[in-house]
Copies of this chain bind each other. A is one copy, B any other.
Amino acid sequence: MEWISRKNILIVGLGLMGGSYAKALKRLGFHVAALDRDEESIRYALQEHIIHEGAIGMDERLVREADAVVFALYPGVFPDWIRKYQHLFRPGIMITDVTGVKSCIVYQIQEILRPDVEFIAAHPMAGREVSGVQNSDERIFRDANYIIVPTEKNTPQAIEWCGMLGRLLGCGRISVLYPEEHDEMIGFVSQLTHCIAVSLMTCSDNTHLSDYTGDSFRDLTRIARINDQMWSELFMMNRKPLLRQMDVFLKELTEFRGLLEKGDTEGMREKMRLSTQRRAMFDQRT
């Protein structure tokens, strides 16, 4: 199969995700190179044998030798990087990414990309509350959902290669979604939940509550430790779907509040039974 021949992997952006890709792929026998503007990240990754080769900022040879490129940079700098360096790509290489928002990136990249290379977007739904290559860990992919996000421009081969990459990382469930479907879904399951967790922590001074809290508050705010630069950028790039999902949730919670205020116990119980039933189905499927 074609993907086997793509032996030289270049990772652009060696943070938590890039480092985790590097660890997984190097262990599987790929040749892994990386670029990062942070000297310490490259130094650390070389010293710990996370990558075979690395360079600070740019090394044209590493780009020229790549059979496949994994973009694990902040999404905002992705198009500029492509514009500036795509002349170095070998014809026929495959490019993928790890970005958590898609519509605003995928079409733009495919628009400006050379016609003899292909960009197939992917979103491995894995992560940790900490960042940096020092915290990278290939176990984050174990049982994680991995979403391939093709457009009409993508070839079946690219989708196949991208799916194999997900399997190689160890992801549990590989799915395919169009960019718009992906963004609505991610606005709900990931971005809205982060907004809720942040708002729970910021709505009142509750640090002393650790003396009293059970597991529920701890669970709901685990993700409130958040990389503010990355997440604010992701929110802005997915603003419309996220605003829609926030409105749906705010309306529902306000409705529940209304039931409580009116003393409509049966109305609350109906909501609770629906949520219990849905969450039980959810547990069965995961």
Contacts and interface: CB of A to CB of B under 8 A. Distances in A.
Interface of A is mostly: helix
Contacts of A193: 200, 216-217, 219-220
A108 interface: no
**Which of the four size classes fits the interface of chain A?**
35 or more
Nearest to A213: B189
Interface in A203-252: 203-207, 209-214, 216-226, 228-229, 231-233, 235-236, 239, 242-243, 246-252
Nearest to A186: B212
Contacts of A271: 198-199, 202
A173 B136 CA distance: 34
A37 interface: no
A286 B210 contact: yes
A236 B175 CA distance: 43
A114 to B, nearest CB: 31
Interface in A166-186: 173, 175, 177, 185-186
A196 interface: yes
Contact of A211 (B175, B222, B239, B269): B175
A198 B272 contact: yes
A153 interface: no
21 contacts: A145-B211, A147-B212, A185-B209, A188-B206, A189-B213, A194-B216, A197-B275, A199-B275, A201-B274, A201-B278, A202-B252, A203-B251, A216-B222, A216-B223, A218-B282, A219-B223, A222-B279, A224-B279, A228-B273, A235-B260, A250-B253
